[in-house]
Amino acid sequence: MGQRRTAHDRGLPQFGPARATLGRGRHPPARDYTEQVGPRSLDGPDRAILDLLEDGEGHGTSEIAGVIGLTPRATRTRLRKLVDRGLVREIGQGPRDPKRRYYKAGD
């Protein structure tokens, strides 16, 4: 077996104390290495979805996807995030309901 190389041996930056000093299975706290960020701002496709839903009529995933130029799967992912943020309401019988419609929240 070859010798195990560390980040230091490979010339990579080291973050925090070396693993050997932490003990088996322990890791430094994540807060030392991550930065808190605020809520994600709306990008172009998210704004296009909200603009489309502005008319107050319910729109299906495929219809929204066709208007904003994304695949239905990518559109569903964006819609789910907008629903989770409270910006869009989803009306349907279940996650696979083909008649499921999306509305802008507050309408």
Contact 102, 64 (CB under 8 A): yes
Assigned token pair, 14:
């080291």
Domains in the chain, ordered, with CATH?
45-91 (1.10.10.10)
Amino acid at 6: T
When pLDDT is cut at 50, 70 and 90, the band that residue 79 belongs to is very high
Q: Is the pTM of this model over 0.75?
A: no
Assigned token pair, 98:
């083909």
Contact 43, 85 (CB under 8 A): no
Write the pLDDT tens digit of every residue in 35-68. Answer: 555 566 888 899 999 999 999 999 999 999 999 9
When pLDDT is cut at 50, 70 and 90, the band that residue 105 belongs to is very high
Contact 103, 91 (CB under 8 A): yes
Euclidean distance between CA atoms 82 and 104, whole angstroms: 9
